[in-house]
Amino acid sequence: QGKHDNYETDLFQALIKASADATGVAPEGKHKVSHRVIADHLRSASFIIADGVLPSNEGRGYVLRRIMRRAMRHGTLLGATEPLIYKLVPALIREMGQAYSELIRAETLITETLKLEETRFRKTLDRGLILLDEATAGFKSGASLPGDVAFKLYDTYGFPLDLTQDALKARNIGVDTDGFNAAMALQRAEARKNWSGSGEAATEKVWFELKERLGTTEFLGYATEKAEGQLVSIVKAGKEVKSLKKGEEAALIFNQTPFYAESGGQVGDTGLIRLGKNGTFRVSDTKKKLGDLFVHYGVVENGPIKSGEAAELEVDRARRTAIRANHSGTHLAHEALRQVLGTHVAQKGSSVDDARLRFDFSHNKPMSGDEIARAEDLANAIILQNEPIVTRLMQVDEAIESGAMALFGEKYGDEVRVVSMGMATEGDKSGKSYSVELCGGTHASRTGDIGLIKILSESGVSAGVRRIEAVTAEAARRHLTAQDTRMREVADLLKTKPDDVPVRLAALIDDRKKLERELVDARKKIAMVGNGAAGDEDNGVRTIGAVRMLGRMVHGVAPKDLRGLVDDAKRQIGSGVVAIVGISEDGKAGIVVGVTQDLTQSYSAVDLVRAGAGAIGGAGGGGRPDLAQAGGPDGANAEAALEAIASLLAGD
């Protein structure tokens, strides 16, 4: 465009204009830099969010949070008192959406992520600025904020160093960054010291020594669930030992193993290992140490067993089969969620065991029942294809270029396993593999082996992250059978057919609501007919000076209905004061006082209800001059509360 400054290009000029329009602050002059920072950081943050990264306190998420918060800080400098940055997203989409379609697909996620983060940031900013003002009160131009104070703002109150520097720059006050870094280093050193002195550190030391001596464990579990190997090390209570007796718990390392070690969200295998002549070791878990040292945890069922012995290692096949189905089901669920909710969906965590699968993903609002059903249908359609699940070894760059999904935060070697399953029948991927992911876990042989996937729940985990829990295969069948049994039991109780349960239940709920309304009305009528009068007259109305007062104690009337009783009673007496104390089953009391409109210049319902509240152990009370309410724990003093109100009316 013939410009010598990026900020003079059409893109940035459009974003700067949007910022100026939203804040009412001219794009030139002393706030020129703030507009430019907002424009640049909005662009950067939007692309990062579109790639599936969400703000957090670590890794890429922390980088994103810092970018967003710096832009938001400059929004504050422009006078914004409410979230601002998210309002500029449409301008970015107009300028860059055609060239970068991922921005259009993720527009809702970008907008809501920015808005939520800025809302939270404003609370942090407001609190931090108050603390910063207190810490620098009396500082003159050229002074420097001590590093330990800046670190306390960061460590205790979440106020980042760069924002502290920005906030003080206008007053020409610096920050002792060396002191800040020293305080940070001291905290880390203390943390390391505390950890290194723990039993955990002593235990971890042995793994470094073993890794250096033994190298890596060869994993055979992709091709088999049973293999031979040699016991190369026994670790007990953080120390290497030569042998174990029956009943002793320990960790065993072999030169090779079919046991999958926990990683990538998939739990470790369990099973049985036979050693020597009669030795057996029951494996309760398998984990990795230092990347690829496979450690088998368990107990000696029959001993002794000795280091160096030949071994036969056998994985629990039934459990492994269930885990395979759940892991493959997770891949199908991931792709189904992307198709239903949008391509902004990215895996944020998972847990796969033999009982169920749990999958966390980026999305900014709860899924509807229809969305859950559609995701289930898509995944189950692929399961019914019964296509082979194909695993290939590829170079990582080649795999990603071919369309395989890689997970943010995961570390991959030069060569990766690419798992493909199902055949897409519609959309851009029609005729290609339905799901393609980089994955080191164990999987079913065919999609049909997954059997069925059933989503049990959908919930929120944190800002912008949702979670589904689901079951597959035999667990899904058992779940549906149990649901069917419960439905039949409900139908029997309702004396109807299972298909007619919703209609029958809706009718019963309507009947119940009608009866509850009738019961409330009946209780109101009973409460206002003579019983519980606080005065000498049967109707409970007495004259105090020149004012008529109706005071009652009532039982069995919900607190929310007391106001209605008071309004009815005010109409009944025409002119005067109404005070009703409702006593609940747990002995607590609520008071509502009403003053007819002609008396509100002389008497306040708020003053009267506060007088009564003191008698029942309450404090305060509030409302309007014509209607106020209060509560207290001591319903036994309800009559005293009415007398306290009467005394205030009498001027005592």
Q: What 3-state class would DSSP assign to 149?
A: helix
pLDDT tier, 527 (very low <50, low <70, confident <90, very high otherwise): low
Residue with tokens 């509240």: 613
Q: What 3-state class would DSSP assign to 291?
A: coil
pLDDT tier, 531 (very low <50, low <70, confident <90, very high otherwise): very low
Taking a C-beta distance cutoff of 8 angstroms, is the pair 593, 578 a contact?
Answer: yes
pLDDT digits (tens, 9 = 90+) for 491-518: 999 999 999 999 999 999 999 999 988 8
CB-CB neighbours of 184 under 10 Å: 16
pLDDT digits (tens, 9 = 90+) for 542-588: 999 889 999 988 887 777 788 888 988 898 889 999 999 988 888 88
- Which sign, positive or negative, has the C-alpha torsion 298, 301, 307, 312? negative
End-to-end C-alpha distance for the chain, whole angstroms: 86
For residues 539 and 589, which has the higher predicted lDDT (pLDDT)?
589
**pLDDT of 191 strictly over 80:** no
**pLDDT of 129 strictly over 70:** yes
**pLDDT of 534 strictly over 70:** no
* Range 446-466 average pLDDT: 93
**Which pLDDT belongs to residue 221?**
93
pLDDT tier, 122 (very low <50, low <70, confident <90, very high otherwise): confident
**Which pLDDT belongs to residue 412?**
64
**pLDDT of 202 strictly over 60:** no
Give the C-alpha separation, 437 to 420, whole Å. Answer: 7
**pLDDT of 484 strictly over 90:** yes
- DSSP character for 139? P
Q: Which range is least confidently modeled, 89-93, 343-347, 503-507, 642-646?
A: 343-347
pLDDT digits (tens, 9 = 90+) for 74-103: 888 888 888 889 999 999 998 888 888 888
**pLDDT of 434 strictly over 60:** yes
**pLDDT of 118 strictly over 90:** no
**Which pLDDT belongs to residue 533?**
41
Spell 482-509 as b/e; 16+ CB within 10 A means b: eeeeeeeeebeebebeeeebeebeeeee
**pLDDT of 377 strictly over 50:** yes
**pLDDT of 324 strictly over 70:** yes
**pLDDT of 290 strictly over 90:** no
As a whole number, the mean pLDDT across the chain is 87
* Range 2-30 average pLDDT: 81
In the chain, the percentage of residues whose pLDDT exceeds 70 is 93
Residue 135: strand pairing partners: none
Taking a C-beta distance cutoff of 8 angstroms, is the pair 544, 646 a contact?
Answer: yes
Strands 589-595 and 627-632: antiparallel
Peptide bond into 83 cis (omega under 30): no
**pLDDT of 315 strictly over 90:** yes
**pLDDT of 466 strictly over 70:** yes
- DSSP character for 429? T
Looking from the CA of 38 toward its CB, the CA atoms found within 13 Å total 35
DSSP sequence for 446-460: BGGGG--EEEEEEEE
* Range 327-338 average pLDDT: 96
**Which pLDDT belongs to residue 2?**
59
* Range 396-415 average pLDDT: 71
Q: Which range is least confidently modeled, 22-26, 428-432, 440-444, 639-643?
A: 428-432
Whose CA is closest to 245, among 275, 205, 202? 275
Give the C-alpha separation, 571 to 581, whole Å. Answer: 18
Phi, then psi, of 542 in degrees rounded to 5: -135, 160
- Ordered structural domains, the chain, with CATH: 6-187 (no CATH), 203-315 (2.40.30.130), 326-479 (3.30.980.10), 528-650 (3.10.310.40)
For residues 125 and 34, which has the higher predicted lDDT (pLDDT)?
34
**Which tokens sit at 190?**
């203390």
Taking a C-beta distance cutoff of 8 angstroms, is the pair 611, 647 a contact?
Answer: yes
Give the C-alpha separation, 421 to 331, whole Å. Answer: 8
**Which pLDDT belongs to residue 541?**
87
Give the C-alpha separation, 593 to 572, whole Å. Answer: 15
pLDDT digits (tens, 9 = 90+) for 240-272: 999 999 999 999 999 999 999 999 899 999 999
pTM above 0.75, yes or no: no
**Which pLDDT belongs to residue 198?**
46
Give the C-alpha separation, 96 to 105, whole Å. Answer: 12
